[in-house]
Chain A
Amino acid sequence: MSAGAIRAGRIAARLGRPLGTLCGLGLLWWGIVRLGGVPSYLLPPPDSVARALWAQRGLLAGAAGTTLLETVLGLLLGTMGGGALALLMMASAPVRRWMMPLVLLSQAVPVFALAPLLVLWFGFGIASKVVMAVLVIFFPITSSFFDGLRRTPPGWLDLARSMDARPGLVLLRLRLPAALPALASGLRVAAAIAPLGAVVGEWVGASSGLGFLMQTANTRFETDLMFAALLVLATMTVLLWWGVDRALARMLYWVPDDQPN
């Protein structure tokens, strides 16, 4: 077998298992609906979800586009803001002492409770959802990056001291690159939960997006459309996570990346 064929076989095996699990779950779902006689406005059978997915593909694609835009903007802004704050906290003790409680607070207050307020402040448009996504990811980004910045191997810092290094350059050229793998873990978490923030924002008040679509479908008992939107959201999140994971693995070329099979 050629190397390409082996590679293709390995990818097929990696994709095949989760697909098999999904098919099994779909069958189970279908069996429960058929044999249990559950009315379709409570739990639609998989085939009617698939039909809704196809029939409303334009609507779903538009809504997914809105949610994806909000999520990606939230990820970018949250990563820049959280990363900058972690660097500032590392560089200055007063910033660290004053800001750490605020960072913790951003995690302690449930965004679900803040959502209506944010919609009130930032409007029904995309801004309030971007802010939601930023709030949701701010803590994992800031705390993982800050942790990484603090945990520079002491040998490197000793070496830097013996070289009469400037503190700012130690932060930039030693601590920062050494902390990137930790930031990457935070980013992976952020990629998985950022869509959640955006959708919660849409749920509270919006005119487009998957959350908005789910909410309207729910109130009209269009459960099949609701499930189709959920499926699109889940797929989008998985793809986003996978894309971020692969991009990070490529950028952090020096970090061992042994994927368990």
Chain B
Amino acid sequence: MTAPAPALLLRGLAVAHGGRDLFAGLDLTLPAGVFSVLLGASGVGKTSLLRVIAGLDRPAAGTVAADDGAPLAGRMAWMGQRDLLQPWARVIDNVTLGDRLRGRRPDRDRAAALLRRMGLADRLAALPAELSGGMRQRVALARTLYEDRPVVLMDEPFSALDSVTRARMQDLAAETLHGRTVVLITHDPLEACRLGQAILLMAGAPVCVAGMTVPGGDVPRPADDESVLHAQGVLLRRMLDAAGP
């Protein structure tokens, strides 16, 4: 990785979606160089918040900034819920999409190396339709890594995968994104406990964000670890309480 990863400072953030206020006056610091997991039920406004951080939507009020004072634009990569692969392009060309859209010469060697790391060395020339859902999401992760940005925003990237594939993707993401400032949103308490180095629970309307206790150990934490299981239970209980009867 080339650039040092900054922390993200959200100050006085107000976000509206579909005529409804999701947040007002939200202050949040997402620490540098670690995985921050935003956990919340569907529809709570996680995606809207991430889109504002990514600069895809404008906040109604407030700012998103990096703690080093430099502008955030051009330092963030974004990975969505769906793989968003181009069906007409081969796997390797999907990985180099960013350079092709910026009019720069694609670095195919680096793309091939990333795909090898994803275990897709023999699928460089395949079309997305020839891949399984898990493979497609690995290509999307390779495309995100190819951007080589210090900040990575992930919008439930593994939610559509089966549990085995999801666990493998979590391991791969934790390993390959190590050292970057990652903001991962999810509705899955286990995912939060396996990957989170800061865990933030989003609940209520307007939304309150509460910092939660993080289980010990390095990420990715094993799913059958005592402290992970316990923390997962606590999170689920809190989410149930927040949802009301």
Which A positions have Cβ atoms within 8 angstroms of B?
153, 155-156, 158-166, 169-170, 173-174, 177, 252-255
Contact = CB atoms under 8 A, between A and B. Distances in A.
B100 A169 contact: yes
A161 B98 contact: no
B129 interface: yes
A162 B100 CA distance: 14
A231 to B, nearest CB: 40
Contacts of B82: 155
A164 B74 CA distance: 7
A254 B131 CA distance: 13
Interface stretch (B24-32, B84-92, B117-125, B183-191): B84-92
Interface of B: 51, 54-56, 73-74, 76-78, 80, 82, 84, 86-88, 97-98, 100-103, 127, 129, 147
A159 B78 CA distance: 7
Which 10 A-B pairs have CB atoms at the shortest separation, nearest pair first? A165-B101, A162-B78, A163-B98, A254-B87, A254-B88, A155-B84, A169-B101, A177-B88, A159-B84, A158-B56
Nearest to A156: B84
Contact of A162 (B77, B88, B127): B77
Contacts of A164: 73-74, 102
Nearest to A169: B101
B97 A163 contact: yes
Given A162-B54, A174-B86, A254-B87, A155 B103 contact: no
B87 A169 contact: no
5 contacts: A161-B56, A163-B77, A166-B102, A174-B86, A254-B87
Given A155-B80, A159-B78, A254-B87, A173 B56 contact: no
Given A169-B100, A254-B87, A254-B127, A159 B80 contact: yes
Nearest to B82: A155
B179 to A, nearest CB: 20
A255 B129 CA distance: 10
Nearest to B78: A162
B31 to A, nearest CB: 22
B101 A163 contact: yes
A170 B101 CA distance: 6
A165 B78 CA distance: 13
B102 A169 contact: yes
Given A158-B51, A159-B97, A163-B101, 10 more contacts: A153-B84, A158-B56, A161-B55, A163-B102, A163-B147, A164-B102, A166-B101, A169-B101, A253-B127, A255-B87
Contact of B101 (A160, A253, A255): A160
A185 B30 CA distance: 48
A169 B103 contact: yes
Contacts of B51: 158
Nearest to A163: B98
B153 to A, nearest CB: 8
Contacts of A161: 55-56
Contacts of B98: 163, 165
B102 A162 contact: no
A249 to B, nearest CB: 14
A162 B76 contact: yes
Contacts of A253: 88, 127
Contacts of A177: 86, 88
Contacts of A155: 80, 82, 84
Contacts of B129: 254
Give the most central of A161, A163, A166, A173: most B CB within 10 Å: A163
Contacts of B86: 156, 174, 177
Contacts of B74: 164
Contacts of B127: 253-254
A155 B83 CA distance: 9
A153 to B, nearest CB: 8
Contacts of A165: 98, 101-102
A253 to B, nearest CB: 8
Nearest to A165: B101
B233 to A, nearest CB: 34
A128 B1 CA distance: 63
Contacts of A156: 84, 86
Nearest to A159: B84
Contact of B56 (A162, A174, A252): A162
B114 to A, nearest CB: 16
